[in-house]
Copies of this chain bind each other. A is one copy, B any other.
Amino acid sequence: MAEKIMHYSLEEILKMDKRFRATFINSLGGFKSVVLIGSKSKDGYENLAIFNSIVHIGATPPLIGFIVRPDSVERHTLENILETKCFTFNHINEDIIPQAHQTSARYPKETSEFEAVGLSPEYKSGVNVPFVLESNIQIEMEFKEKIDININGTLMIIGEVKNIYLPKEVIKEDGFIDLENSGTITCSGLDSYHRTERIVRLPYAKPKLL
């Protein structure tokens, strides 16, 4: 790219308008995983919320984490997970982007976001938290660890994968899940949703292969 390069220092970033900075810094890290987290309070209220701070923690045991801000609309999800130790990850596909995004609105605890946005809670045998019926990849998670991130008061929640439900055809011979084929989308910033197109899969890298 030949165009003009802009430079922003930390001092300039901290002087930005608050909403501008939130949008800017949320875009900066690259494209992100985005899922719907389903949960349920001890007294039976369903919750569904969109999260884009999902991070792979490990494969053995299978662990996935996410960042949560306890003072935000995300707090119902956090409270439910700490109460019941159980939640679901549900991949988002093109058909449910508006509904998924709408779960980020600030609904009262008594309102089920499923009903409010028009998605269907799905209950599987022996599991007390809702999955999203319209989601092509559904994961049941068990809460394992809550980590305080002291520097800004956020938390990382780590869960263990208990059960996975996904279309047979998207699982490749080597274990690779073809997310593109499953319709899973990615996001950038706070509100931008993208489909993907594979460029390449590359072999395991060893020194001097190039």
- Give me the interface of A with B, judged by CB distance under 8 Å: 1, 3-10, 13-14, 16-35, 52-65, 67, 69, 89, 91, 94, 97-99, 101-107, 111, 116-118, 136-137, 139, 144-145, 147, 149-152, 154, 156, 158, 160-169, 171, 174-177, 179-180, 182-186, 188-210
Contacts and interface: CB of A to CB of B under 8 A. Distances in A.
Tell me how many chains of this kind the complex includes: 2
Contacts of A61: 10, 14, 151-152
Contacts of A179: 27, 30-31, 188
Given A158-B151, A175-B24, A199-B193, A6 B167 contact: yes
A34 B26 contact: no
Given A104-B205, A105-B205, A158 B164 contact: no
Contacts of A169: 3-4
Given A7-B164, A9-B162, A194-B198, 19 more contacts: A7-B163, A10-B161, A16-B175, A20-B174, A23-B176, A24-B59, A24-B176, A25-B59, A53-B56, A55-B65, A58-B152, A97-B202, A102-B209, A116-B207, A151-B158, A156-B156, A177-B189, A191-B203, A191-B204
Contact of A67 (B55, B145, B150, B180): B55
Contacts of A207: 105-107, 111, 116
Given A27-B179, A30-B33, A177-B24, A145 B136 contact: no
A144 B186 CA distance: 28
Nearest to A194: B196
A22 B208 CA distance: 24
Contact of A175 (B22, B30, B174, B184): B22
Contacts of A62: 10, 13, 21, 25, 28
A98 B6 contact: no
Given A8-B164, A31-B31, A196 B199 contact: no
